[in-house]
């Protein structure tokens, strides 16, 4: 095992009353059901709408209905339901957490065995250079990335299928995978392989059934849904760490909190409270807003919406293109911003 796995970081945590924290970390089945069931029903409703549009409406409206469905569908994956269920914090009852995790993981082509191991490392070593290889700063995007994100993301499809096929063959590749799935961990390597096979065989059988029974809309509603319409998911998820400081033991300087509308926050499983999520990862998503209020006096100001966050991120990325060492340092309580971003 790589010695980097033994690194322990002395993270700063904003002070909070122990009783308050204990109440905020309490898990609730009904609160989790109140999230996952409406989300699945909305996803099913947009699927039905897209199917009916295919049968009865003009092609422009069909494309619009499919795009709306895929936008909702995208939040079943790692920037939504799959992420929080991998943490194991939403449900008090472990069975329900694992049941819904496997359901959304299958629908979104997510190998939750891989993500759990990777994301555990991300939380321990958040964006520390050479240690956290899940999120490596600085991150850049180009016009081609934006084009794929707004249309059909063929690059994501290629990447996911290649990685899933490789895992299905039991092949571990790269420094990060060799660290999170060392040769000694044969059990998790087997689970990784088996779930990859379930994804490949399951979706292949579904696609074959859709084709055999001439249910062509379902190829776009189920089989290909994770690979288009991901624009809103991308806009939310990209704000988490981009442009901030790597290798600092303070989540306030390497994570970003953005205030979202109630609907977007619902789909995103409240991960817009990203400083709070990293600082106290045991707090379920439905309590992150309350956690924010409890420690807000010790946090940098939250961004009042996606537009405000992206107005900062875009010029940061432009400057990082010229100088990869450049970072934005948000003002901590009682301080002024060290770097002013002006469009």
Which has more confidence, 339 or 113?
A: 113
Inter-residue long-range contacts of 53-58, CB under 8 Å, 24+ positions, other chains counted: 54/216, 54/217, 55/217
Distance CA 20, CA 17 (A): 5
Q: Report the run of H or E that residue 279 belongs to, with start and end.
A: helix 274-279
Structure token pair of residue 162: 């290649």
Is residue 37's pLDDT more than 50? yes
**Averaged pLDDT score across all residues of the chain:** 95
CA angle in degrees (0–180, nearest 5) for 160-194-158:
10
SS3 264: helix
Cα–Cα nearest to 220, from 101, 64, 35 = 64
Q: What is the pLDDT of residue 3?
A: 58
pLDDT tens for 47-98 read 999 999 999 999 999 999 999 999 999 999 999 999 999 999 999 999 999 9
Cα–Cα nearest to 278, from 241, 250, 242, 251 = 251
- Number of domains present in the structure of the chain: 1
- Whether residue 238 lies inside any domain: the answer is yes
pLDDT tens for 227-273 read 999 999 999 999 999 999 999 999 999 999 999 999 999 999 999 99
Q: What is the pLDDT of residue 5?
A: 79
Q: What is the pLDDT of residue 104?
A: 98
Structure token pair of residue 81: 């339901």
- Whether residue 167 lies inside any domain: the answer is yes
- Whether residue 154 lies inside any domain: the answer is yes
Query: Are the CB atoms for 157 and 227 separated by under 8 Å?
Result: yes
Q: What is the pLDDT of residue 142?
A: 86
For residue 111, the enclosing domain spans 3-10+24-254
- Whether residue 328 lies inside any domain: the answer is no
Distance CA 332, CA 254 (A): 12
Q: What is the pLDDT of residue 149?
A: 87
pLDDT tens for 165-185 read 999 999 999 999 999 999 999
Q: Residue 192's Cα: distance from chain center in Å? A: 19
Is residue 151's pLDDT more than 50? yes
pLDDT tens for 18-33 read 999 999 999 999 999 9
DSSP string of 130-170, one letter each residue: TT--SS-SS----HHHHHHHHSB-HHHHHHHHHHHHHHHTT
Distance CA 34, CA 15 (A): 30
Distance CA 316, CA 141 (A): 12
Structure token pair of residue 317: 């990325």
- Whether residue 146 lies inside any domain: the answer is yes
Cα–Cα nearest to 81, from 25, 31, 113, 35 = 35
Is residue 341's pLDDT more than 50? no
Q: What is the pLDDT of residue 4?
A: 73
Query: Are the CB atoms for 244 and 253 separated by under 8 Å?
Result: yes
- Whether residue 268 lies inside any domain: the answer is no
The pLDDT-based confidence of 201 (bands split at 50, 70, 90) is: very high
Percent of the chain with pLDDT over 90: 92
Distance CA 113, CA 126 (A): 19
- Whether residue 291 lies inside any domain: the answer is no
Strand partners, 228: 152
Distance CA 305, CA 272 (A): 10
Q: What is the pLDDT of residue 274?
A: 98
- Whether residue 261 lies inside any domain: the answer is no
């Amino acid at each position: 095992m790589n010695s980097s796995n033994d690194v322990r970081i002395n993270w700063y945590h904003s002070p909070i009353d122990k009783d308050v924290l204990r109440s905020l970390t309490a898990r609730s089945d009904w609160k989790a059901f109140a999230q996952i069931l409406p989300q699945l029903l909305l996803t099913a409703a947009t699927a039905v709408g897209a199917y009916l549009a295919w049968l009865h409406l003009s092609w422009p409206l069909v494309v619009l209905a499919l795009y709306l469905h895929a936008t909702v569908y995208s939040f079943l994956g790692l920037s939504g339901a799959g992420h929080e269920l991998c943490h194991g914090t939403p449900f008090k009852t472990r069975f329900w957490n694992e049941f819904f995790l496997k359901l959304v993981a299958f629908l979104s082509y997510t190998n939750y065995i891989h993500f759990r191991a990777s994301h555990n490392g991300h939380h321990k070593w958040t964006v520390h250079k050479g240690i956290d290889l899940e999120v490596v700063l600085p991150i850049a995007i180009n016009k081609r990335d934006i084009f794929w994100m707004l249309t059909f993301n063929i690059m994501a499809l290629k990447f996911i299928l290649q990685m899933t096929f490789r895992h299905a063959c039991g092949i571990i590749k790269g420094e990060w995978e060799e660290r999170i799935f060392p040769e000694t961990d044969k059990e998790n390597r087997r689970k990784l392989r088996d779930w990859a096979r379930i994804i490949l065989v399951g979706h292949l059988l579904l696609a074959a059934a859709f084709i055999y029974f001439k249910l062509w809309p379902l190829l776009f509603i189920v089989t290909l849904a994770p690979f288009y319409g991901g624009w809103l998911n991308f806009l939310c998820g990209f704000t988490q760490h981009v442009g901030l400081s790597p290798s600092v033991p303070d989540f306030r300087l390497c994570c970003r909190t953005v205030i979202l509308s109630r609907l977007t926050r619902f789909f995103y499983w409240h991960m817009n409270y990203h400083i709070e999520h990293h600082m106290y990862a045991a707090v379920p998503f439905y309590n992150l807003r309350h956690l924010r209020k409890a420690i807000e006096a010790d946090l940098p100001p939250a961004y009042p919406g996606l537009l405000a966050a992206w107005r900062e991120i875009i010029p940061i990325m432009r400057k990082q293109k010229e100088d990869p060492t450049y970072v934005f340092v948000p003002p901590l309580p009682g301080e002024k911003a060290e770097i002013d971003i002006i469009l």
